[in-house]
């Protein structure tokens, strides 16, 4: 027998009041304990979703536990030297993995991420994506050292997706199917994207094919304009609903969906019968904004939805794999999360301060080939300065860079560590925003220049790291002028010899000017 309407209303009302009270308590807890220091495991994202009545049914992160009680494995890597595997767990329940254990395991060899464990207990792990309708497979695996970061004061590694890389699970448990409600969030590197299809995280087809409109519901991040797009030049957070990336109700431009490119970007998509939303914000600080909240797209096939419940990361539903991006953490829920629940999750994300200083004292980057880094001066005048190339000439300088710098300045101050072009046990530095161009010296001054393959170039572009002369970070010895080291002098970068004949060889400040912190990359 069905309950009278008034009783149903009272039950519903009580459910919403209880859920709202739980979320308010969580927000209060998060704000009270919201320091950026290493946090004790209070309420983490999946604790918050559970309290809001929309529990996680998949929870993926290589950087931290997403439940306060979670102590199981976060991710697994395989090293190429002997093909052995190792999994990394939080060092305490609800905590962070030990990145130095990965550094030791991967020292002197390459490592790839082979598995991203599901923390929800449902076994929805992500592994190498198989081939699909759009492209053969299996896809490439992520370089395990290519996305260094810090979180909660700990060094950690994200999942770096170069084009061709992808993860998937076609045989899941508890993920929404049909028109059932679900929510999802992910934290991406808002400066790493492209216009290829499709850097996604979320719900996809279980057969790796394009099964038609409405057979997916995933977060997309990038600046492809083939389907929907938003205002500005992108990147945009959109929903991949299959045969279309949607930025709102229309098929093409929805100007309410803004360009979002925070270094650490929180991206949200959620859907329920004939209703869905896009939300996003800066993972490092501040709240979430709603970019779309309304009915399903005004094209046939998306209402009702026909979700199939596989999970993808870094690829499209049919294994389209032309996209790139970086993923740090993400979850999928059962049920349509309230904005208040998501706001509480965002407060927790803010509290762990992605990209902040690591407890190791500001040396979170590594000199492992493939890593993106920035090189920070250690002389007391100049600790806000980083090695950076000019845009109008080839000169290389030190200059201040901060979180509010332009994305060009951040890119100009970011380098990809390469095995030394002339000596594999040393390193070379490729520009992060001028592909194929390297730091090289010429007449003892540093310039940015394309690799012409000559032995002069490769030697001029190779530097051998040693412990920093002032006890901080590294000093970099020139491979072909071994009495010379990377040094800043009057804000220009040289290879200098201590007490030599040039003004930039001055002995004053020598130890400090030749010591560099390998810092979290600016882009």
Residues at the site binding ligand AHR, with contacts judged by CB under 6 A? 134, 197-198, 210, 240, 242-245, 316-318, 320
* Residue of 171, 172, 260 lying closest to 219 (CA atoms): 260
Of 152 and 228, nearer to ligand AHR (C-beta) is 228
Write down the catalytic residue from 318, 409, 430, 513.
318
Of 242 and 342, nearer to ligand AHR (C-beta) is 242
Of 318 and 409, nearer to ligand AHR (C-beta) is 318
Of 134 and 399, nearer to ligand AHR (C-beta) is 134
Q: Which residue is nearest to ligand AHR (CB)?
A: 316
Q: Is 242 a catalytic residue?
A: yes
Nearest distance in Å: CB 173, ligand AHR: 23
Of 318 and 513, nearer to ligand AHR (C-beta) is 318
Q: Are 452 and 458 in contact (CB under 8 A)?
A: no
What does the alpha-carbon distance between residue 304 and residue 62 come to, in Å, rounded to a whole number?
A: 34
What does the alpha-carbon distance between residue 141 and residue 306 come to, in Å, rounded to a whole number?
A: 29
What are the structure tokens assigned to 134, written together?
């759009």
DSSP symbols for 185-217: EEEE-TT---SSS--EEEEE-TTSS---TTS-E
What does the alpha-carbon distance between residue 494 and residue 509 come to, in Å, rounded to a whole number?
A: 14
What does the alpha-carbon distance between residue 44 and residue 46 come to, in Å, rounded to a whole number?
A: 6
- Show the 3-state SS of 339-388: HHHHHHHHHHHHHCCCCCCCCCCCCCCCCCCCCEEEEEECCHHHCCEEEE
Of 184 and 448, nearer to ligand AHR (C-beta) is 184
Nearest distance in Å: CB 216, ligand AHR: 6
Phi and psi at residue 5, in whole multiples of 5°? -55, -40
Nearest distance in Å: CB 168, ligand AHR: 12
Q: Is 329 a catalytic residue?
A: no
CA atoms lying within 13 Å on the CB side of residue 210: 15
Nearest distance in Å: CB 312, ligand AHR: 8
Write down the catalytic residue from 200, 242, 329, 505.
242
Nearest distance in Å: CB 310, ligand AHR: 11
Nearest distance in Å: CB 293, ligand AHR: 21
Nearest distance in Å: CB 158, ligand AHR: 22
Of 246 and 463, nearer to ligand AHR (C-beta) is 246
Distances (CA, A) of 519 to 87, 92, 327, 386: 26, 26, 19, 9
* Residue of 123, 130, 152, 131 lying closest to 65 (CA atoms): 152
Query: What DSSP designation does 520 have?
Result: P
What's the sign of the alpha-carbon dihedral 319, 329, 262, 275? Answer: positive
Q: Are 432 and 477 in contact (CB under 8 A)?
A: no
Helix and strand numbers, DSSP H then E, in the chain: 7, 32
Mind telling me the catalytic residues? 242, 318
């Amino acid at each position: 027998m069905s309950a009278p309407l008034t009783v149903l209303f009272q039950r519903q009302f009580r459910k919403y009041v209880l859920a709202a009270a739980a979320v308010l308590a969580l927000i209060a807890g998060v704000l009270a304990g919201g320091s950026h220091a290493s946090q004790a495991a209070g309420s983490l994202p999946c604790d918050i979703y559970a309290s809001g009545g929309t529990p996680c049914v998949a929870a993926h992160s290589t950087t931290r536990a997403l439940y306060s009680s979670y102590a199981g494995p976060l991710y697994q890597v395989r090293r190429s030297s002997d093909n052995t595997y190792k999994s990394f767990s939080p060092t305490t329940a609800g905590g962070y993995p030990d990145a130095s254990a990965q550094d030791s395991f991967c020292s002197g060899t390459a490592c790839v991420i082979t598995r991203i464990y599901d923390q929800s207990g449902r076994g929805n792990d992500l592994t190498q994506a198989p081939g699909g309708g759009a492209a053969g497979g299996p896809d490439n695996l992520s370089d395990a050292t290519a996305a260094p970061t810090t979180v909660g004061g700990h060094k950690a590694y994200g999942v770096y997706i170069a084009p061709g890389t992808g993860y998937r699970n076609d045989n899941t448990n508890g993920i929404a199917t049909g028109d059932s409600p679900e929510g999802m969030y992910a934290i991406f590197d808002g400066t790493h994207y492209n216009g290829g299809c499709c850097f996604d995280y979320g719900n996809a087809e279980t057969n790796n094919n394009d099964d038609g409109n409405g057979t997916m519901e995933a977060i997309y991040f990038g600046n492809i304009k083939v389907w929907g797009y938003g205002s500005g030049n992108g990147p945009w957070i959109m929903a991949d609903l299959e045969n279309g990336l949607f930025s709102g109700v229309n098929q093409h431009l929805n100007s309410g969906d803004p360009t979002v490119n925070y270094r650490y970007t929180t991206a949200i998509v959620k859907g329920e019968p004939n209703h869905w939303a896009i939300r996003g914000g800066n993972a490092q600080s501040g709240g979430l904004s709603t970019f779309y909240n309304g009915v399903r797209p005004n094209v046939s096939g998306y209402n009702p939805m026909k979700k199939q419940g596989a999970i993808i990361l870094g690829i499209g539903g049919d294994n389209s794999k032309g996209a790139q991006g970086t993923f740090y953490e993400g979850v999928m829920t059962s049920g349509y999360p309230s904005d208040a629940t998501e706001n509480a999750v965002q407060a927790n994300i803010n509290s762990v301060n992605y990209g902040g200083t690591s407890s190791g004292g500001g040396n979170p980057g590594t000199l492992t080939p493939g890593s993106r880094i920035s090189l920070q001066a250690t002389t007391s005048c100049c600790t806000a300065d980083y090695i950076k190339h000019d845009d109008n000439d080839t000169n290389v300088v030190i200059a201040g860079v901060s979180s509010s710098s332009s994305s060009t300045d951040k890119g100009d101050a970011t380098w990809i560590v390469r095995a030394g072009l002339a000596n594999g046990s040393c390193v070379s530095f490729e520009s992060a925003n001028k592909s194929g161009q390297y730091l090289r010296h010429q007449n003892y001054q540093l310039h940015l220049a394309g690799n012409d393959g000559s032995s002069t170039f490769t030697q001029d572009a190779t530097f051998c790291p040693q412990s920093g002369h002032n006890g901080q970070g590294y000093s970099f010895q020139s491979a072909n002028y071994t009495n010379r080291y990377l040094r800043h002098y009057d804000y220009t970068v040289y290879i200098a010899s201590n007490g030599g004949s040039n003004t930039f060889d001055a002995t004053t400040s020598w130890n400090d000017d030749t010591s560099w912190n390998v810092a979290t990359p600016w882009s």
